[in-house]
Structure 1
Amino acid sequence: MPTLLASGRDADVFALDGHRVLRRSRDGRSPAVEAEVMRHVAGLGLPVPRVYSVDGPDLVMERLHGPSLLGAALAGEVTAEETGRIMADLQGRLHALPAPGGGGVLLHLDLHPDNVVLTATGPVLIDWTNARQGEADLDVALSALILAQVALAGTFPGPVAALAGEGLGAFLSHTRGDPVRLLDAAVELRAGDPNLAPEEERVLAAAAEAVRGRASA
C-alpha cells in the first residue's frame, strides 16, 4: 500500500517506493498539462522532478530526497539571504527558457521556499500546478506577494514569518524582474485563489504595500 507523505491544499502525495511518489488531485483534475510543462523544462535543463506517468488525477514523479528550502532555512542550514537568492535564481532560469510552442514566457506562479527541495545535486523546483505562459514580472510579483503575506498574516509560527520577511528583501535584491509593474495583477490573481486562507486574504493589500515599499527602498 502507498504511504501518505504529505497533504496539500488540493492534493495528497504518497510514496510508492524509494524512487517514486504519486500525487493525487482531490478534485479529480488531470495533471496532464502540468506533466507536459515539467517534461518541457526538464528537457531544457531546469531542475524539476522527473515525470513517469499520468493516469486520471494521478501523477507519478521522481521522489526527491532532502529538505524543502523553507525547512532548511528554519533549521539554520541556509540563511534568509540564500533563500531569496535561490528563489530568484530558479525563477530567472525559468524565465530565460523558451516556452512550449515558442511563444511568451513560462511562469511558475507558486514559487516560494516550500516549493523548492534541496537535494544532493542542488535545488529542485516542484508543484507546477499553476504554471502557464505570461509576463515574467507577474511571476516575480506573485512570489514577492506570497512572502509578504506569510510575514504579515500572523497565523504562521514566528520563525516562518521572520524568514519570509527577511527572504522577501533578499529575493527583491536578487530578482532580475520588476516586482511592482504587475503587482496589481498579482494581487488580483492571488485574491482569486480558492485555497487562500482568510488570514492571508485579510493582509493582501498590506502585503502589496510591503512589496512596493521594499522594492523602492
Structure 2
Amino acid sequence: MTALLASGRDADVYALDERRVLRRYRRGGDVTAEVTVMRYVADHGYPVPRVYEADGADLILERLDGPTMLQALGDGTMHLRDGGVVLADLLDRLHRIRVRSATDPGTRILHLDLHPENVVMTEGGPVVIDWRNSIEGPPELDVAMTAIIIAQVAVKPDHPFTDRAEEFLDVLLSCTRDNPLSQLEAAVRRRATEPHLTDDELAHIHEAKLLVTTIARAHH
C-alpha cells in the first residue's frame, strides 16, 4: 500500500501513482452500484473521476489534482457566492440526466451527499466524488439533503465553516431550480439514520431543518 492521501468517515484514499488512487471502504461492501452510477453520469458528460477498476470494497480511480471546494472556500481562493453557484449548477446538471429505466419521467439520479467536501476543484473544473449514497428519485430530495448537510454545519458552533455556512446555503438555494421543501422531511429522516453521524449532529438536525425551511421559503 502506498501513501494515504485522505480519510473520510467510512473510506480511505491511497495514492497508487501519479494518475491513480485507491479508494477503500473500511467496513467492506460492494462498489458495483456506485461504479455503475459513475459511469452512467460520465457518459452523459457529468464531471466524475474516471473509474479504472472496481473489486469488492475497492475502487481504483483517476487521481484529481486540486483542493476540495471546502478548502478553496476556507483559504479564500474561491468566493462564497461562487461556491454556492457552482454547487447549485452541479445539482441542476445532475438532475437533467434522465434515467432510462424509470417509469416516472421525473425520476433522476440523486447523489445524496453533494456538498463542498465532495467537490474537487481541478484545473478543468469541479469534479464530484463519493457516489456511494446515490439512488434514483425526485431531484428535490437531493437538494434537500445537500441543504440539510450544509445547515448542520451552520448550526454547529465548533465547525470552522459555521460562520459562513448560512450565507453559503442562502446562495445555493437562491440558485437551485428545484424546491427542497417538498422532500425536506424525507431528507431529515434519511439523514438521521446515517450511521456515521455523531450524537451532536443528530441533536441539531431539527434546528438545521428549521434553517433550511426559512431560507427555502424566501427563494421558492
TM-score per shorter chain, which class? Answer: over 0.9
- Name structure 2 gaps, 5 residues minimum: none
Partner of 2:181: 180
Distance 1:198 1:100, change over 3 A: farther
Match of 2:126 among 123, 127, 131: 123
Partner of 1:21: 21
How far apart are residue 18 of structure 1 and its match? 0.9
Q: Secondary structure at the match of 1:124?
A: strand
- Name structure 1 gaps, 5 residues minimum: none
Distance 1:152 1:25, change over 3 A: same
Q: Secondary structure at the match of 2:28?
A: coil
Partner of 2:92: 92
Give 1:67-86 correspondences, 5 Å limit: 67-86=67-86
Sequence identity (%): 48
Of 188-197 and 102-111, more deviation after overlay is shown by: 102-111
CA distance in 1, matches of 2:135, 2:192: 18
Residue identity opposite 1:123 in structure 2: P
TM-score by length of 2: 0.95
Partner of 1:50: 50
CA distance in 2, matches of 1:204, 1:172: 18
Instruction: Report Cα offsets for 1:106-129 as digits up to 9, x if no partner.
Output: 000001001000000000011101
Partner of 2:111: 108
CA distance in 1, matches of 2:84, 2:176: 9
How far apart are residue 141 of structure 1 and its match? 0.6
RMSD of Structure 2 on Structure 1 (CA): 1.1
TM-score by length of 1: 0.96
CA distance in 2, matches of 1:165, 1:21: 33
Instruction: Report Cα offsets for 1:119-161 as digits up to 9, x if no partner.
Output: 000000111010000110000111111111001022312xx11
CA distance in 2, matches of 1:127, 1:100: 23
Asked if the contact 1:154/1:199 (under 8 Å) is kept, the reply is no
CA distance in 1, matches of 2:198, 2:82: 27
Q: Secondary structure at the match of 1:145?
A: helix
Aligned length: 215
Partner of 1:167: 168
Q: Secondary structure at the match of 2:182?
A: coil
Partner of 1:30: 30
Asked if the contact 1:11/1:23 (under 8 Å) is kept, the reply is yes
Residue identity opposite 2:51 in structure 1: V
Indicate yes or no: 2:135 matched with 1:140: no
Distance 1:148 1:21, change over 3 A: same
Instruction: Report Cα offsets for 1:179-206 as digits up to 9, x if no partner.
Output: 2111000000000101112111111001
Indicate yes or no: 2:202 matched with 1:201: yes
CA distance in 2, matches of 1:54, 1:137: 30
CA distance in 1, matches of 2:168, 2:8: 22
Instruction: Report Cα offsets for 1:85-110 as digits up to 9, x if no partner.
Output: 11110010000002253552100000
CA distance in 2, matches of 1:60, 1:193: 25
CA distance in 1, matches of 2:30, 2:64: 22
